[in-house]
Chain A
Amino acid sequence: MPCYFAIIGAKDNPIYEAEFTNPHLNQFPPELKELNPFILHASLDILEDLQWQTHPQSGAHSGTNSGFLRSRHSSSNSNCYLGKIDHFYGLAITGYLSYGNMKFVMVHSGNANNGSPVVVDDVSVKSFYQEVHELYVKTLMNPFYTLNEPITSPVFDGRVRALAKKLLTK
């Protein structure tokens, strides 16, 4: 399934974005492709809401209505991976926060464009985020990289895409 992934900096500026599509099978339809950044940025509000909650994922159990925004992945105590935070006409949006409050967000689209809700595989998405987080930390270790600047390294790009290929697009 095609995905649109972005890292959003502290000032809500995108510092990296990528589309993970498979040239043979599926791509974002052109009209949706334009919308992806908007969909993604719209979910930042929810992300920032969850950012300061002590148990961002336990809302699925306590509230009656608030649960529909979040996935059922609430077993662990961790508050980096936030699970599914938003949805938009059958697209699912997942979020992840790094320790420096960099926002990793991704739009997941279904295989068929029939509007059926996308099932997000929490385990692999989470490990994708963690791997990208490691790459991000490595980027930050570069003394010539300043915080909140776009990440233009081709190696970073290549690695993220390789990870996406391994973990996301099945």
Chain B
Amino acid sequence: MARVLMATEQKYIERDIEEYYVADEPFYVPTSDEIEIFESAYRQRVPILLKGPTGTGKTRFVEHMAWRLSEGLVPRNPGEEALNGNGEKLPLITVACHEDLTASDLVGRYLLDADGTRWIDGPLTRAVKSGGICYLDEIVEARKDTTVIIHPLTDHRRSLTIDKLGSTIDAADGFLLVVSYNPGYQNALKDLKHSTRQRFVALEFDFPDEEREAAIIAHESGCDNDTAERLARLGVKIRNLREHGLEEGASTRMLIYAGRLIKEGVSQRRACQVSVTWGITDDPQIQRSIDEVVTSIFA
């Protein structure tokens, strides 16, 4: 009986992507004036490009901004007043790009069903129609044809052309395109074309300084301040190895995970080992070196 009940009881929330907006404030510690820049850019509907290594808070930042705008904490249009929670919700539609992502995955496609064909809007189209923020994560990963689709959306036209339907959609007022990418410095073939990158306001993300990072770790993981400080220090030390064997530094996210494990009672050294050392590299030599740093910082 109980089982049946469990099955019928809905344990998840399912909503259309247009209805997804950030309801609770995502924790975000600004490192500079990026919040102001984002707000201004949004009011002017200038598309935004977020650059930076993995785990530096790009996605979190977008969520945070979507929340701020959704809550109406800041005016959405030039000359408006802030609505402070009474505004219309602003949807956030996130698409994680991958190498097989084609234009029709973004725009939409016809599906064949019993009655014939049916058009389904892709996430980008739905964002354009609903007037939300469309966030294309790791845009360079997507196929080249996708970048061309977004061009008309990123200039004065603000329109999306759908070849298959033979139609053009002007973006709803609230729509804004935000893309992110990680400029891996040795990636010869995966780079953003200039014709694309010059359509965006670019915000650079890097790891926060030690103090801020400690605060972030403490907040996100709930571990004590001393542990958080040590984790932040570990992060700084490991990032010194970037380009000397490590392709990427330790992300803040990684350190937060370590903090969470520590809070759960896992010993500090072990927590760092499983969430940082082993995660960041497979090279035994570098692992050993990082291990030495861990065992120096954590007793």
A binds B: no
Interface residue ranges, A against B (CB under 8 Å): none
Interface residue ranges, B against A (CB under 8 Å): none
